[in-house]
Amino acid sequence: MYGFIYQKWWKILTLLMLLYVFIAGFLVPLRPGILEVSESRVVGGDSLQVFVTTYNTQWQEGDLIQAFIKYDSVHIWSVPGVTLQRRNKLLLQGRLLGWRSNSRDQYVDATLILHHPRDGFMVMPSAFTITAGSGELEAPIWVEQLPQRAAWSWKFPFRSILYETIRNTFFHVAIWMAMFVLLVVSLVYSIKYLLNPRLEYDAITSSFAHVAIVWGTMGMITGSLWARATWGTFWTNDPKLNMSAVAMMIYVAYAILRASINDDDRRAQLSSAYNIFAFMAMIPLVIIIPRLTSSLHPGNGGNPALGGEDLDHTLRLIFYPAVIGYTLLGVWMASLLYRLRRIEIRNLIASLQD
């Protein structure tokens, strides 16, 4: 069974997968999207003159570009004057569709939708805040009249706030997933050790736990950098962040516990038992508690991740190999630690016999 760790094919597979992840993770472009509008507060019924800056668009003169302003599910206004300024800049002109004020709402958050035959739809939610003006609501355009969706292409989704950092799905999320797999292996071998006390099992447990700590540290640092780019701060008092910090501390305590005991059997016994508790503590801390409260972090408190629109097909095509790649790289690193540990144990026994 342990012959697996001496084989080469899966190590080459690991490297190829990670190579694919790094190359595709950087080279696949973002889908075209709307970066900003020059004026977001507009009055219904007034004449509209707004510049729209787009992202990753290579538009040329003569392209059929359509612009729509969506008030609600029924009222969608097709902007009559769409002029291309540059390959990533549009000018929208026209007399804005009126909007009737009622007693409850003084303004409406309207969505800007652009359509290009090659690039498909670009949507910017809450692009305009339209205050009630003199105009009346005109004849609505029904959703069925919008142009057809563009075909699937090899591109990452364009998300406001995230922008290019959506690529961190492969360099942050995947690392945490791999860490969970490594910790499960560690848990299984610590249970095996307690059932059948062989130092070999303990060596496997500790190797996997140590590599998992390395992976967790990597996940924390990359997450912190990502938070700086999206939330504006390296760390906030968010349940997901604080609880994962606590879980990491529990595993660091595992490493310290091991380092502080000299007797091999005693260390193996204590740390195996501790490892089971550490895993049982980590699951509610990292996975359950943040889901019960509200959290900024995707995947928690009514803020889903890895489901629906968050992980689209193109991301999946790179995300799953990334998870497998980091897991196998972790297994490789753990197997090296295990082999080293085994030689150390053998030397120790040999020196005791002398």
| Residue 340 touches other proteins, criterion: CB under 8 A | yes
Shortest distance in whole angstroms from residue 56 CB to other proteins: 6
The DSSP line for 159-217 is: -TTTGGGGGGGTTTHHHHHHHHHHHHHHHHHHHHHHHS--HHHHHHHHHHHHHHHHHHH
Shortest distance in whole angstroms from residue 331 CB to other proteins: 13
Q: How many CB atoms lie within 10 A of CB 46?
A: 15
Among 66, 78, 222, 242, binds other proteins (CB under 8 A): 222
| Residue 23 touches other proteins, criterion: CB under 8 A | yes
| Residue 236 touches other proteins, criterion: CB under 8 A | no
* Contact status, residue 297 vs residue 243, Cβ threshold 8 Å: no
Query: In whole angstroms, what is the distance from residue 35 CA to residue 56 CA?
Result: 10
Taking residues 253 to 282 in sequence order and writing x for each that binds other proteins by CB under 8 A, - otherwise, the string is ------------------------------
Shortest distance in whole angstroms from residue 55 CB to other proteins: 6
Rg of the chain, C-alpha, whole Å: 28
* Contact status, residue 116 vs residue 32, Cβ threshold 8 Å: yes
Query: In whole angstroms, what is the distance from residue 68 CA to residue 76 CA?
Result: 6
| Residue 22 touches other proteins, criterion: CB under 8 A | yes
| Residue 344 touches other proteins, criterion: CB under 8 A | yes
Q: How many CB atoms lie within 10 A of CB 329?
A: 19
| Residue 27 touches other proteins, criterion: CB under 8 A | yes
Among 19, 195, 259, 317, binds other proteins (CB under 8 A): 19
Shortest distance in whole angstroms from residue 293 CB to other proteins: 26
Shortest distance in whole angstroms from residue 169 CB to other proteins: 10
| Residue 164 touches other proteins, criterion: CB under 8 A | yes
Query: In whole angstroms, what is the distance from residue 273 CA to residue 268 CA?
Result: 9
CB of 86 or CB of 100, closer to other proteins: 86
| Residue 52 touches other proteins, criterion: CB under 8 A | no
Phi-psi region of 126 (alpha: psi -120 to 50; beta: other; left: phi over 0): left
Beta strands in the chain (DSSP E): 33-37, 41-43, 47-55, 66-70, 76-78, 81-86, 89-95, 107-116, 120-131
Q: Which residue has the tokens 């980590």?
A: 282
Shortest distance in whole angstroms from residue 306 CB to other proteins: 19
Q: Which stretch binds other proteins (CB under 8 A): 39-47, 48-56, 96-104, 306-314?
A: 48-56
Closest CA to 63 of 21, 115, 103, 17: 115
| Residue 349 touches other proteins, criterion: CB under 8 A | no
Query: In whole angstroms, what is the distance from residue 23 CA to residue 27 CA?
Result: 6
| Residue 25 touches other proteins, criterion: CB under 8 A | yes
| Residue 352 touches other proteins, criterion: CB under 8 A | no
| Interaction site with other proteins (CB under 8 A) | 11, 15, 18-19, 22-23, 25-27, 29, 35, 53, 55-56, 162-165, 167-168, 171-172, 175, 214, 217-218, 221-222, 225-226, 228-229, 329, 333, 336-337, 339-340, 343-344, 347
